[in-house]
Amino acid sequence: MILFDHVTKLYANQERPALDDVSLEIEKGEFVFLVGPSGSGKSTFLRLILREERPTKGAVWVAGKELGHLSNWKIPYFRRQIGTVFQDFRLLPNKTVAENVAFALEVIGKPKAHINKVVPEVLEVVGLEGKEHRRPDELSGGEQQRVAIARAFVNRPMLLIADEPTGNLDPGTSVGIMQLLDRLNRLGTTVVMSTHDSNIVDQMRRRVIELEGGHVVRDQSRGVYGYAQ
């Protein structure tokens, strides 16, 4: 599903690379935690998968495509296969829950009948039935993140990228979000999520990739966060 082949990313005007010679593979259907201190390169790793950044050296493969050779006009179509969730939810404040989810389908030109059918379905999957007509400011943080996950998942992507999705949530709420992501993973979606939260990683016991200063310092299936080398 994802292959990093000796990937180095050096941002312009930076001395130290954000990622330094990273090679690893993520299989279809996996649930992968990306951990590491702030500035260790987690977001950079995820942006490379989304082709928001290009590697300085090496190659990134996603779903059988080498992203360096993906022409610009194909990028939108490539991104339709990937759902993305962020720490700050990124919802449109003047649209309702249902409209926020529908927006993701409208802008890729899906027909109205299809939208009317799948939006309620996905809102049920994320546990927001009955709240379709609320606006984001009438929802708790956890509920807002569920809307964002519904929007990411409504197009049934094969891959879900989540950059610190629980970073703004309290521990109790985070558990609910993790259960939701786990459920989507069990539905067959590959999930790659970055986090600071050691409790979550320890509870879930999934593959853990640890970054430090742009290097992979640990890659362990069924890991826990604080496991010393």
Partner 1 sequence: MRAQFVAREVSHGLRRNLTMTLAVIITVAVSLGLFGGALLLRAQVTTMKDFWYDKVEVSLFLCGKGSDTASCAGGAVTKAQRDQIKSDLEGLKPLVEEIYYESQAEAYQHFQEQFKNSPIADNVRESALPESFRVKLSDPTKYEVVASAFAGRPGVEQVNDQRQILDKFFKLLGGLQAIALAIALTMLVVTVLLIVNTMRVAAFSRRRETSIMRLVGASNFYIQLPFLLEAAFAAGVGALAAIGALVLTKAVLVDSIVAPSFQFTSFVGWDAVITIAPILFITGIVLSGLAAFFTLRKYLRV
Give me the residues that bind partner 1 (CB under 8 A), please. Answer: 72-73, 75-82, 84, 90, 92, 103-104, 106-112, 115, 151, 155
For the chain, counts of helices (H) and of strands (E) = 7, 10
Strand 57-62 with 31-35, pairing: unpaired
Q: Per rule CB under 6 A, is residue 185 in the interface with ligand ADP?
A: no
Q: Quick check: 11 binds ligand ADP (CB under 6 A)?
A: yes
User: Using only C-alpha atoms, what is the Rg of the chain?
Assistant: 18
Tokens, residue 54: 């290009």
Provide the minimum distance between the beta carbon of 81 and partner 1 in the complex, in angstroms, as a whole number: 8
User: Of 38, 71, 72, 229, which one interacts with ligand ADP (CB under 6 A)?
Assistant: 38
Q: How far is the CB of 99 from partner 1 (least distance, A)?
A: 11
CB of 108 to partner 1, least distance (A): 6
With binding defined as CB under 5 A, does residue 43 bind Mg ion?
yes
Cα separation, 94 vs 77, whole angstroms: 27
The residue type of 151 is: R
Asked if 15 is part of the footprint of ligand ADP (rule: CB under 6 A), the reply reads no
Query: For 121-226, where are the E strands, in sequence order?
Result: 159-163, 190-195, 207-212, 215-220
Task: List interacting residues with ligand ADP (CB under 6 A).
Answer: 11, 14, 18, 36, 38-44
